[in-house]
Amino acid sequence: MPEMILVETHGAVGVIRLNRPAALNALCDLLVGEIGSQLVDFNANPDIGCIILTGSEKAFAAGADIKEMQSRTYPAVLHDDFIAKWETVLRVKKPVIAAVAGFALGGGCELAMMCDMIICADTAKFGQPEINLGVMPGAGGTQRFTRAVGKSKAMDMCLTGRMMDAAEAERSNLVSRVFPAGTMMEEALKIAAKIASQSQTASLLTKKSINAAFETTLTQGIATERALFLSLFGTADQKEGMAAFVEKRTPSFAKPA
């Protein structure tokens, strides 16, 4: 049984809740390992169509576990590359939503940005305060933050270490939607259920195509999109989805075999 996460399923939605309250969900090796293992399990489960990663009302994750990192040396981290263990979420094919309330700082902010979508409560606080510790972001903070909010604001956040509230995060395109804290998780489940009700094959390929927009040129991205779009005409879901539209009924997409 995992020690630092709580796992739930709501229909076709899998929920992973970080549960290390005494440390505001600081990302230690054990917690990161448990998150990764459960992500892999949900990804392999045909009954799950969307995954939510969330924390508590006080914190999604307040950062990496500084006590655990403090004594590490350069040769040790070079060979261990502990940050690579955080990146299991990047290998998940199904859509992953970060549902953030309270603090998402440092590694917590970076973990949220590794997800496919961030929604947040109006209590959320985002930031990359590593500069205050004499280091810099190391799990994508200077890269994903810049792609989300632009160079000037990323420089501002990473060089001053200040926090960004939910309203600024939405204005800056870091998050897709903001909800009152009391309803945020309910709304996250609604969004995830809507995604999970769609064709899993189409969802996976849509995610793959959008990610290509950040990793390739426009010409390459368009070519990827076109190839993936055309491939869906070889699926039963395309036949069912278009037949349902013509027949004015709700489509019934089959689970992947």
64 is catalytic: yes
Cα 93 to chain centroid distance, Å, stands at 12
Which residue among 49, 107, 127, 141 is the active-site one? 107
User: How far is the C-alpha of 106 from the C-alpha of 219, rounded, in Å?
Assistant: 34
107 is catalytic: yes
Which amino acid makes up residue 155? M
Which residue among 98, 110, 170, 192 is the active-site one? 110
Residue 93 is given by DSSP the state: -
Which residue among 12, 59, 62, 64 is the active-site one? 64
215 is catalytic: no
Which residue among 14, 104, 112, 130 is the active-site one? 130
Helical H segments across the chain, by residue range: 29-44, 66-69, 74-80, 107-114, 141-149, 151-160, 166-171, 184-196, 200-215, 218-231, 236-246
Whether the Cβ atoms of residue 168 and residue 185 lie closer than 8 Å to each other = no
Residue 42's SS3 state is: helix
Residue 63's SS3 state is: coil
Catalytic residues: 64, 107, 110, 130
